[in-house]
Structure 1
Amino acid sequence: MNMKIELENCQKSLTLKDFEEIESKLGYALPERLKEFYLQYNGGSTKQIASINKYQEVEIEDFFPFKYNKDFKNDPRYTAEGETLELRKAGAISDSILIFAMESTDEGRITIDLVNGKIYLYPIVGMQDVIFNFGEPRLVANSIDDFFDNLVVLDGHKAIPAIEEIEEGQTETAGVMPELSDCSASLTKEDIKNFEVELNVKIPAGMKNFYLKFNGGMPSPYCYQPQDEDLDRVEINAFFPIKERTNAFETIEVIAKDIWSRNLMPCNLLPFAMDSGGNYYALNLKNKKIYYYLTDEWDENASREYNFETNTRYIAQSFNYFINHFIEEEE
């Protein structure tokens, strides 16, 4: 490798015997370069690392551990091995594909084809039940050696972001990232990690970066035009803090646990902001899209599932898109 890789929050070290078991379950031998890397680092969070090459440039948020994940009580779904086998079984990827990392723009999956040895980015474009729907794979590197040899630390260079999928019926609106006032105390990466562990959630890199800059508060500008062109523009009154309540609002954790415990919102929606009418903006923890959740249209004569569905309105394909497309109020 042409750089010293530094990963944080690595999991329990792997052994050669672990790899024998992994290869048996996957049905393929792993490239020696990949095993060499994972014997040193069993997954972990990166410090602004990207693979820069002649194909798709990708910025990497996490390398998934192959086995073990103490942050999620060793749930196999949160490992490279477990997620790969689950998505293979569902037919979302072919049996020769191995998922081993997450790109940071929209949490697409970085994979290796264990037959031809090439590295691909699988962009996430949706979710059905609990299974990702992927867009067309994009070639990242011709081999695992090519991938690792072209890793760089992003010091003044930003990788070309993955192209965000604009679905039919969505609009592309010019906008800006808002400035927030009346914020709570500044956060550290450790604060965000503890928040994820406490709620057993994984939030996108864009959301983490935004909260490291603004820990909740009142946005300016405060309007947003949903990508669903059938919806009128909406107003965002406040973002909830991740740690330590503001003068006006409780933390995301307190609000989410209260709403979930009373079955007022699906548990796959994480409320992070609200408008002046008490309606929420929420991150879908499965597909990472942003939804507007109405609280004043509950039908007591209908089922909870019906209310959940009818009160949830899609507004943005990702947190990054949402936060970068705020607009000024019309005169």
Structure 2
Amino acid sequence: MTTPLGLDGATPIALADIAAAERALGFTLPPALVALCLAENGGMPTRCWLIDEARDMEYWVNWFIPIEPAEATTGKGLVSIYCQMVGEGVLPADSLPFANDAGGNFFLLDRDDRRVWFMPMDEWHHEETAEQNWARSGRAVANSLTAFLAALSAEVPSWARE
């Protein structure tokens, strides 16, 4: 794992909470996500900028979604957000939201190829399926969660300082 993100964090969790989340989801969480949540479980990161020079884009990661402790009932954790979004047909079942930006757009981990994607929700077309929206608007931003975390920077882009 890379250097800490400085997350201000949700409630710390244990392996039992990971196991409960995996039971509720019906699949095993990626090891890199488990390691992140055990070390720093959700919150606002101090290293929050992802620079995509190939597309001349900067992404602001505003919030990492926590895994709630097994007994929690707030409905704001990774499990409840995933279940709600898949249930409403907003998210393909093979995509796991783990962070978002300040505009409500999601960073998703593809459970099949482990790449990290950015899904701009403001480009969503309700007449299309989640898969169609994903294919049209989703942008791969890192080859893995580990690469995504390593690429995050505390350096604020010049346009954001003005």
Q: Residue 281 of structure 1 is aligned with which of 107, 123, 132?
A: 107
Q: In the superposition, relative to structure 1, how do residues 303 and 320 fare at CA in structure 2: closer, same or farther (>3 Å)?
A: closer
Q: Residue 258 of structure 1 is aligned with which of 74, 84, 90?
A: 84
The Cα of 1:308 is off from its aligned counterpart by 2.4
Residues 30-69 of structure 1, C-alpha deviations (whole Å, 9 max, x = no match): xxxxxxxxxxxxxxxxxxxxxxxxxxxxxxxxxxxxxxxx
Tell me which amino acid in the other structure corresponds to 1:179. Answer: G
> Where does residue 44 of structure 2 map in the other structure?
218
SS in 2 for 1:233: strand
Q: In the superposition, relative to structure 1, how do residues 204 and 330 fare at CA in structure 2: closer, same or farther (>3 Å)?
A: same
After TM superposition, which residue ranges in structure 1, 4 or more long, deviate above 4 angstroms? 300-304
Q: Give the TM-score of the pair, scaled to structure 2.
A: 0.85
| Separation (CA, whole Å) in 2 of partners of 1:221 and 1:313 | 21
SS in 1 for 2:134: helix
Residues 103-127 of structure 1, C-alpha deviations (whole Å, 9 max, x = no match): xx9xxxxxxxxxxxxxxxxxxxxxx
| Separation (CA, whole Å) in 1 of partners of 2:129 and 2:36 | 36
The Cα of 1:207 is off from its aligned counterpart by 1.4
Residues 54-85 of structure 1, C-alpha deviations (whole Å, 9 max, x = no match): xxxxxxxxxxxxxxxxxxxxxxxxxxxxxxxx
Query: Percent of pairs identical after alignment?
Result: 24
Q: Does 1:241 align with 2:66?
A: yes
Could you say which structure has the larger radius of gyration?
1
| Separation (CA, whole Å) in 2 of partners of 1:301 and 1:256 | 21
Residues 204-223 of structure 1, C-alpha deviations (whole Å, 9 max, x = no match): 22211111111111000210
The structure richer in helix per residue is: 2
Tell me which amino acid in the other structure corresponds to 1:178. Answer: L
Q: Does 1:209 align with 2:35?
A: yes
Q: Does 1:229 align with 2:54?
A: yes
> Where does residue 126 of structure 1 map in the other structure?
none
Residues 225-281 of structure 1, C-alpha deviations (whole Å, 9 max, x = no match): 24x712501001101110157x9x810111111111110111111111100010001
Residues 147-193 of structure 1, C-alpha deviations (whole Å, 9 max, x = no match): xxxxxxxxxxxxxxxxxxxxxxxxxxxx9652111x11111112112
Q: How does 1:288-327 map to 2 (within 5 A)?
A: 288-300=114-126, 302=128, 304-327=130-153
> Where do 5+ consecutive residues of structure 1 fail to align?
1-104, 106-174
> Where do 5+ consecutive residues of structure 2 fail to align?
none
Structure with the bigger RCO (C-alpha within 8 Å, sep 6+) is 2
Q: Give the TM-score of the pair, scaled to structure 1.
A: 0.43
Tell me which amino acid in the other structure corresponds to 1:236. Answer: V
SS in 2 for 1:220: coil
| Separation (CA, whole Å) in 1 of partners of 2:131 and 2:44 | 32
